[in-house]
Structure 1
């Protein structure tokens, strides 16, 4: 059974040398159930709202299976929340989720997969691993951002059920590791057909691909 292993929200704002001066990446598990509304989990915050949070990035999910991979690679524990995730999951292929896929969690909550996480310098400072951003990106296990389709509560142990897939085949992993004109066209076609509603971040990424010089466009 796919389930939520841990629910995490910010423990404290930490000093950070980035432009904002603080970071809310320090997420830690909570025991109680939390309400999830369109902008995220009750009690959670984002320090840099230009790149984090908002309706299309209300919830960040990372798989226990991928955390276990990194634990072995790095020779250290990767406890729930270390990557800044809100939900640590198990039994569901987070990176294999299609853009626009919907998950029902527990009795009420419904989330929609919107886009992959892009690693940043704050994440690298958090991990204190050499070349972490590149290493994380090269491995292709970014985890997924999700929007809130239906508000509800969430707690550790809640079952996760995939209730719909758009069927276009563009996944979190495929877009993160190889976003190209072909995938962009596939997503735009799926949106025109009413199978998916693309988040702002995806639209902006598609526009960047469209604006590449002709020779740089993937065939």
Structure 2
């Protein structure tokens, strides 16, 4: 059965990469139910989709299409073996550590029900940043993470409510296209030639679709 193993909230700490700015990368499991709501726009909105969570860099994180970040425990376990170290739930900065669902293979626009109330929509992959690299403290981490192309998924909030550890995760529906989180990540990082393939995914953020349109126009002009 697919489920949420833990719900993880930030323990804010100074961000060494950005002066005195705090970072919320240090996320730890909570035993309490957590309210999930649509946070509004990236600039001027509420930041995270989880009440009680903290985002340090709201210029680049948060907003409707990055409301909730999910990462699979199975993928954390693979990384733990690769890196030769323990990785706790929340260690990648994820809000939801999941089990039994292929997060990288999730389709853009796929909808997940969490527990009895919350419905989330798969929106876009996580792109690694220097804060993430500094937190993991692994040599050339951004390069390693990007090459592996197992990014985890950001999700939009379709129906608000409360989530808690152990909640069942049900895939309600999947769109007919084949644009997965993994494909989008590869297109946005090392394989930009894949960008035109993303345009069939209506649920992609507009900025991502615009990038794909520009690439398509460039190819047609050739």
**Common topology (TM > 0.5):** yes
What TM-score do you get using the length of structure 2 for normalisation?
0.87
Count how many residue pairs are aligned between Structure 1 and Structure 2.
211
Counterpart of 2:119 in structure 1 is 110
Q: Which residue of 2 aligns with 1:209?
A: 215
- Judge conservation of contact 1:119–1:136 (CA < 8 Å) in 2: yes
Q: Which residue of 1 aligns with 2:81?
A: 72
Q: Could you tell me which runs of 5 or more consecutive residues in structure 2 were left unpaired when the two chains were aligned.
A: 40-48
Root-mean-square deviation (CA), in Å?
Answer: 2.2
1:94-133 matched pairs, under 5 angstroms: 94-133=103-142
**Bigger mean CA offset, 65-74 vs 174-183:** 174-183
Cα deviation for residue 175 of structure 1 reads: 1.6
Query: Distance in 2 between the 1:214 and 1:130 partners?
Result: 40
Which of the numbers 62, 65, 72 marks the counterpart of 1:53? 62
1:183–1:103 CA distance, 2 compared to 1 (3 A):
farther
Secondary structure, in 3 states, of the residue corresponding to 1:41? coil
Q: 1:159 aligned to 143, 165, 168, which one?
A: 168
**Contact kept? 1:105, 1:159, Cα under 8 Å:** yes
CA contact (8 A) 2:12 2:22 kept: no
**Deviation, structure 1 residue 63:** 0.2
Instruction: Provide the C-alpha distance between the structure 2 equivalents of 1:201 and 1:43, rounded to a whole number of angstroms.
Output: 28
1:170–1:183 CA contact under 8 A, matched in 2:
no
Structure 1 unaligned segments of length 5 or more: list them.
Answer: 192-196
Call closer, same or farther: CA 1:20–1:136 in 2, change over 3 Å: farther
Normalising by the residue count of structure 1, what TM-score does the alignment of the two structures yield?
0.88
Quote the offset at 1:92 in angstroms: 0.1
Q: Distance in 2 between matches of 1:5 and 1:205?
A: 35
